[in-house]
């Protein structure tokens, strides 16, 4: 699978999947653009893990 995005800004949030802040379960997944590059951040209970290019 591939996904293509064209942005006007070098930084931004593309996708957030998780609970509202402050809930007991803080698991989440986020896809962001930082300095023009994709960053995947996942927290499944043991702390956030960042995957960069």
User: DSSP secondary-structure letter at 22?
Assistant: T
> Is 9's pLDDT higher than 90?
yes
pLDDT at 51: 95
Rounded to a whole number of angstroms, the CA Rg of the chain reads 12
More confident residue, 41 or 7: 41
Tell me: the pLDDT tens digits for 21-41?
777 778 999 999 999 999 999
Taking the CA atoms of residue 11, residue 16, residue 22 and residue 24 in that order, the dihedral angle to the nearest 10 degrees is: -140
Residues with Cβ within 8 Å of residue 27, at least 6 apart in sequence: 18, 19, 43, 44, 45
Spatial distance between the Cα atoms of 35 and 53, rounded to a whole number of angstroms = 11
What percentage of residues in the chain have a pLDDT greater than 70? 100
pLDDT band at 3 (very low <50, low <70, confident <90, very high): confident
pTM of the model: 0.78
């Amino acid at each position: 699978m591939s996904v293509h995005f064209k942005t006007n800004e070098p930084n931004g949030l593309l996708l957030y999947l998780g609970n509202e802040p402050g809930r007991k379960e803080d698991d989440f997944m986020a896809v962001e653009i930082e300095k023009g590059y994709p960053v995947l951040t996942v927290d499944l209970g043991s702390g956030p893990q960042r995957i960069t290019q």
